Structure 1
Amino acid sequence: MKKAILTIGNTLRGDDGITSYLGKLIEGEESLDWKIFYGEDVPESQFHKIREYKPDLVVVADAMTGMKIGQVEVIDISNERDYMYSTHNLPAPILMSYLKGFCKSVLFLGLTVDLENVLEINENISKEAEITARNALKKVFEIDSIFDND
């Protein structure tokens, strides 16, 4: 099964770059065979590459607020019309809807960050966000085991 992750977030806005950090962590894991697509703040720019790769599973990972800081969750936002916190042009439910047009399975992985840590220009993520990304890596391992040999 071919698996991919689309990371979303502006790496110049502190903890909003948490999923790019997660992507680097995944790339460093030899036991994970995932293709990483760094969408940054224009994730739709990666769609042609994802379509060309033809993954069976795509995980869309994005920083979010509204839950306990540090929480990492796979969330069904497919029918969520109010999910508008984003640094990119299209809301995540619309991005996911498009991806579902050519991918068998699409999941949303939300990494909760402190809103205060995304408001200013900063190329570094906080220690708190690093811990959250490591917890997200554990979630990716769980997803990998669920979808292994599917």
Structure 2
Amino acid sequence: MRKAILTIGNTLRGDDGVTTYLGKLIEAEDSLDWEIFYGEDVPESQFHKIREFNPDLVVVADAITGMRIGQVEVIDISNDVDYMYSTHNLPAPILMSYLKGFCKSVLFLGLTVDLENVLEVNENISKEAQVTAESALKKVLEIDSIF
């Protein structure tokens, strides 16, 4: 089974880059065979590469707010029109709808970060966000065992 993860986040906005950190953790994990697509703050720029890779599963990972900081969840946002999930050009529900047009399974993985840590220019993620990414890696390992 071909599996991919699309990370979304601006690495110049502190903890918004948490999913880029997650992507690096996944790449370093020998037991995982996932293709990582770094979408940064324009994830739709990776769609042609994802389409070429032709995965059976795509996990879209993005920093979110609105839940307990550090919480990592697979969230069903397929019918959600609230744009709180993304600070990027294309709202996550629309992005996922497009991916579902050519991928068998698409999941949204939300990594809850402190909003205060994404508001200013900062190339580093906090220790708290690093721990959140490590929790997200465990969630990816769970997803990997299911698919």
Q: TM-score range by the shorter chain?
A: over 0.9
TM-score, with length taken from structure 1: 0.97
- Alpha-carbon distance in structure 2 between the residues aligned to 1:129 and 1:84: 19
Q: Tell me which residue corresponds to 2:144.
A: 144
Over residues 88-133 of structure 1, what are the superposed CA-to-partner deviations in whole Å (9 max), with x where a residue is unaligned? Answer: 1100000000000000000000000000000000000000000000
Structure 2 unaligned spans of 5+: none
User: Residue 105 of structure 2 corresponds to which residue in structure 1?
Assistant: 105
CA distance in structure 1 between the aligned counterparts of 2:83 and 2:70, rounded to whole angstroms: 19
The equivalent residue for 2:32 is 32
Task: Provide, for residues 17-59 of structure 1, a one-character-per-residue CA deviation record: whole Å limited to 9, x for no partner.
Answer: 0000000000001110000000000000000000000000000
How far 1:85 sits from its partner (Å)? 4.2
State the TM-score, normalized to the length of structure 2.
0.99
Q: Is the contact between residue 6 and residue 36 of structure 2 (CA under 8 Å) also seen in structure 1?
A: yes
Per the alignment, residue 22 of structure 1 pairs with 22
Q: Is the 8 A contact 1:10 1:87 kept in 2?
A: no
Unaligned runs of 5+ in 1: none
Equivalences, count = 147
On the 8 A contact 2:5/2:36 being kept in 1, the answer is yes
Secondary structure class of the residue paired with 1:35: strand
Distance of 1:64 and 1:41 partners within structure 2:
14
- Aligned ranges for residues 1-150 of structure 1 at < 5 Å? 1-147=1-147
Q: Report the secondary structure of 1:39's partner residue.
A: strand
CA RMSD of aligned residues (A): 0.6
Percent identity for Structure 1 against Structure 2: 88
Q: Is the 8 A contact 1:113 1:129 kept in 2?
A: yes
